[in-house]
């Protein structure tokens, strides 16, 4: 963490805040990393303990840092917010936050629809469906467990895609401009597979988003998206 030169108009506590914020943006401090104590900050920046305390206190109030009594002050864990009423490509969301997007693909195969899938996709039982399972990551940390079922008759090349650079959501939106979306959100505990792939414990609260998408009255896909509750939240805003 670099020590910035003081400005005549910039308060000293702001210099400390800016230095810590920049260090977090440059990933010198990662989520859950401990930052220097107020005493160490005061020594480093040649300020009083009270000034260092104000800088840290304001960053805690802004949600960038968290205090743990008796342990110290830490970089707040990532908890991103996604608009509930929109469909955003998760890779774009992560990159817009100036973070690194990556994913791991575990399955991409053709299956036959059972009754549940047939009802969800509006097709007959036994019709072919493409199934994909991926985990999307932010700065290497799992953020979303994504299962997707796609109507194979409408998207015959889905199973031939690589998806290492372009996400399924991006691919489908290019082929089929969105005309309608259905979201059903639940609070759930993770399955064994979700625990392993999201690197969470069995008692971690998760957000499950069940999403169906249409294009020109054609039901294209059903997605089941699981997010650790301490890393992700959904929000919406509307005028009344």
110 and 36 together in one domain: no
64 and 94 together in one domain: no
97 with 158: CB under 8 angstroms? no
Query: H or E stretch including 139?
Result: none
24 and 50 together in one domain: yes
- pLDDT at residue 9 tops 70: no
- How many residues does this entry show for the chain? 240
Report angle CA 4, 64, 54 to the nearest 5 degrees.
60
Per-residue pLDDT, averaged over 47-62, amounts to 92
- pLDDT at residue 123 tops 90: yes
At residue 169, φ and ψ (nearest 5 deg) are: -60, -45
- What pLDDT does residue 24 have? 86
Give the separation between CA 76 and CA 67, rounded to whole angstroms.
Answer: 9
Domain that holds residue 172: 80-235
96 and 71 together in one domain: no
Q: Among candidates 212, 206, 200, 211, which has minimal Cα distance to 226?
A: 206
Query: H or E stretch including 107?
Result: strand 101-112
- What pLDDT does residue 220 have? 96
At residue 82, φ and ψ (nearest 5 deg) are: -120, 140
- For position 41, which CATH number holds? 1.10.10.10
Q: Over the stretch 197-221, which tens digit does the pLDDT of each residue have?
A: 999 999 999 999 999 999 988 999 9
130 and 196 together in one domain: yes
Place of tokens 């650079």: 165
38 with 52: CB under 8 angstroms? yes
Q: Which of 3-17, 63-77, 182-196 is predicted least confidently?
A: 3-17
Per-residue pLDDT, averaged over 102-116, amounts to 96
Q: Is residue 152 part of a domain?
A: yes
113 and 26 together in one domain: no
19 with 3: CB under 8 angstroms? yes
Q: Among candidates 198, 134, 206, which has minimal Cα distance to 166?
A: 134
123 and 200 together in one domain: yes
Cα distance between the two ends of the chain? 46
Query: 29, 57, 75 — which closes off a domain?
Result: 75
87 and 178 together in one domain: yes
Query: 75, 95, 121 — which closes off a domain?
Result: 75
157 and 228 together in one domain: yes
**pTM reported for the whole predicted model:** 0.64
Give the number of domains in the chain.
2
Q: Is residue 4 part of a domain?
A: no
Give the separation between CA 128 and CA 116, rounded to whole angstroms.
Answer: 13
């Amino acid at each position: 963490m670099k020590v910035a030169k003081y400005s005549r108009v910039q308060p000293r506590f702001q210099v400390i805040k800016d230095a810590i914020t920049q260090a977090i943006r440059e990933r010198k401090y990662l989520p859950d990393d401990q930052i220097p104590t107020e005493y160490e900050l005061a020594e480093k920046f040649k300020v009083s303990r009270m000034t260092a305390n104000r800088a840290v206190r304001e960053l805690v109030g802004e949600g960038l840092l968290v205090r743990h009594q008796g342990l110290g002050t830490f970089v707040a864990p990532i908890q991103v917010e996604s608009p509930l009423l929109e469909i955003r490509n998760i890779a774009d969301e992560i990159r817009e936050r100036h973070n690194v997007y990556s994913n791991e693909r575990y399955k991409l195969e053709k299956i036959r629809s059972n009754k549940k899938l047939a009802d969800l996709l509006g097709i007959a039982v036994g019709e072919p469906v493409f199934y994909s399972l991926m985990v999307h990551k932010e700065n290497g940390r799992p953020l979303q467990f994504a299962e997707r079922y796609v109507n194979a008759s409408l998207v015959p090349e889905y199973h031939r895609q690589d998806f290492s650079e372009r996400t399924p959501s991006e691919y489908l939106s290019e082929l089929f401009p969105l005309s309608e979306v259905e979201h059903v959100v639940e609070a759930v505990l993770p399955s064994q597979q979700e625990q392993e792939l999201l690197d969470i414990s069995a008692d971690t609260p998760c957000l499950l988003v069940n999403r169906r998408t249409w294009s020109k009255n054609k039901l294209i896909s059903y997605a089941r998206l699981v997010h650790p509750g301490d890393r992700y939240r959904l929000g919406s805003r509307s005028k009344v």
